[in-house]
Structure 1
Amino acid sequence: MNNEVHGMEQNVVHAKLNKPEAIVFDMDGTLFQTESLLLPAYHKMFDILREEGLYVGPTPPEERILGCLGMLLADIWKNVMPEADEAVHRRADELLLQLEIEGLEAGGTLLYPQVVETLTALKERGVKLFVASNGLKDYIHSIVVVHELKELFEGLYSAGGQGTATKTELLRILLDNHGISSAWMVGDRSSDVQAGKGNGQTVIGCAYAGFGRQDELKGSDVIITSFAELVDLYDNAAFSE
């Protein structure tokens, strides 16, 4: 993956960027080290499903859910446990949210390096900062509160909160609600690339989480390998004419 990333960097790092009014961030794999919270909750969830008689057999491999990060929950369960019925999938929604919020409140979860410092620096430069995630509303809110990011963001948008079926639709609502014409969409999955491009915006692909396929970020304007690179990208971007 590294060779692929570096090759892609060479192709896109010189892309001419304009300073945006807003920067919109995905959450999992972009700001938040999801596996620090998800994997313990994932194993506990399957223990409970087995206890309740809703699931039989071993817990599916961790790689299966890590490979689904960025998807809507309904699609995640179709990939993780396709043999289970809709009622089991909905119970899994409830349990995972409950366990993740408990895990967040217990402490020990992690943001990526330099996230707080980078967001603070961008906000100080006058950029409006937002979150747009396919996650559930309470999950996104809990991460922001526990990691003391709330004051940095103008708004938190989630598929669960807005009832959207795609990240493209979610970003469109965000841009319309705030009257934003120029934004950078920052994320680690193909859904983030599609959302940015589908709304005519610049896409910054994040290649440091390692969950996605090699072609996940194809179509990004720039690919970064550490979150802190965003400050230099912004400082070196041109003012819109």
Structure 2
Amino acid sequence: MKQALIFDMDGTLFQTNSILEPALIGTFDVLRKNNLWYEDTPIDTYREIMGVPLQVVWKTLCPSHSLEIREKSNSIFQEKLVELIKNKRGSLYPDVESVLEKLGSDHELYIASNGQIEYLKAIVDTYSLERFIKKVYSIQSIPSGQKSDLVKMIISENKITTGAVIGDRLSDIMAAKENGLTAIGVNFDFAQMEELKQADKVIDHFIELL
């Protein structure tokens, strides 16, 4: 059995910060036009919570709004993200494609992301990641919405016995540890040092995975 490597997407493979600001601004512009928001777009707040489940994102960004408005806001946000991705406004981190190609020769590669299915599909299709990735898993497939449960499902479905989870946030690190895998933290845009301290290993550049 090949060793499995399970990657987070946002802030690990894909430079989400390149499309985050325009998508958020567009979303909150719509809210302003409907008199549902009167302040600046909360970009910094979103960066602080990047990687948490989407229901937590919108509860944090719009604490005074109803569940219906939060869900509508998320739908608008997702549409704008997908549009930006398809227009190639985003990008993968340096060396991602070459590293995945090399790792794929003797590892099984998976993606486990808190991103929604259409969003992940847009990234995979735009950058042809299916060349390297065996399967992409979205948090939408897990009722609990927990990354640890998503990784557990990946392990079960693919009969994984050894491997690592690579990601930038605590949810990725804990998903590895709670499932008996190595936790590799990536010190990229959204990473926080206090969280990375809990990883087994930390890398500053993607090519270090080799």
How high is the TM-score relative to the length of structure 2? Answer: 0.95
| Aligned position for 1:182 | 162
Residue number among 69, 80, 85 corresponding to 1:104 in the alignment:
85
CA distance in 2, matches of 1:219, 1:122: 24
- The counterpart of 1:216, out of the listed 195, 199, 203, is 195
Alignment correspondent of 1:4: none
Local SS of the residue matching 1:195: helix
Contact 1:60 1:81 in 2 (8 A): no
- Residue of structure 2 equivalent to 1:28: 10
Cα distance in 1 for partners of 2:82, 2:41 equals: 22
The whole-number CA distance in structure 2 between the counterparts of 1:101 and 1:164 is: 25
Cα distance in 2, alignment partners of residues 213 and 225 from structure 1: 12
CA displacement 1:183-218 (0-9 Å, x = unmatched): 110000000011000001101110122x23320112
Assess if the C-alpha contact under 8 Å between 1:45 and 1:95 holds in 2: yes
Q: Which residue matches 1:130?
A: 110
Distance change in 2, residues 1:20/1:186 (3 Å): farther
Q: Mark the structure with the bigger radius of gyration.
A: 1
2:53 to 63, 72, 75: 72
Instruction: Name the CA distance, whole Å, in 2 between partners of 1:20 and 1:148.
Output: 22
Partner of 2:127: 147
SS in structure 2 at match of 1:228: helix
Q: Given the alignment, which residue of 74, 81, 101 partners 1:93?
A: 74
% identical aligned pairs: 32
How far apart in 2 are the matches of 1:147 and 1:59? 32
Deviation at 1:75, TM superposition (A): 0.3
Query: C-alpha separation between the residues in 1 aligned to 2:92 and 2:79?
Result: 20
AA partner of residue 7 (structure 2):
F
The partner residue of 2:172 within 192, 198, 204 is 192
Which consecutive unaligned segments of at least 5 residues does structure 2 have?
none
Tell me which residue corresponds to 1:230: 209
Structure 1: which 5+ runs fail to align? 1-18, 232-241
State the 1:20 CA deviation: 6.3
In the TM superposition, structure 1's runs of 4+ consecutive aligned residues that sit over 4 Å from their partners are none
CA RMSD of aligned residues (A): 1.4
State the alpha-carbon separation in 1 of the partners of residues 132 and 84 from structure 2: 23
Deviation at 1:85, TM superposition (A): 1.6
User: Number of matched residues?
Assistant: 210
Deviation at 1:77, TM superposition (A): 1.1
Q: Give the whole-Å Cα distance in 1 for the aligned partners of 2:133 and 2:164.
A: 15
Whether contact under 8 Å (2:142, 2:149) holds in the other structure is: no
User: Are the aligned partners of 2:25 and 2:41 in contact in 1 as well (CA < 8 Å)?
Assistant: no
Instruction: Specify whether residues 23 and 149 from structure 1 end up closer, same or farther in structure 2 by C-alpha distance, changes over 3 A only.
Output: same
Cα deviation, residue 148, structure 1: 1.5
Deviations 1:1-24 (A, max 9, x none): xxxxxxxxxxxxxxxxxx961100
Is 1:121 aligned to residue 92 of structure 2?
no
Q: 1:51 offset after TM fit, Å?
A: 1.9
CA 1:52/1:161 → structure 2, altered by over 3 Å: closer, same or farther?
A: farther
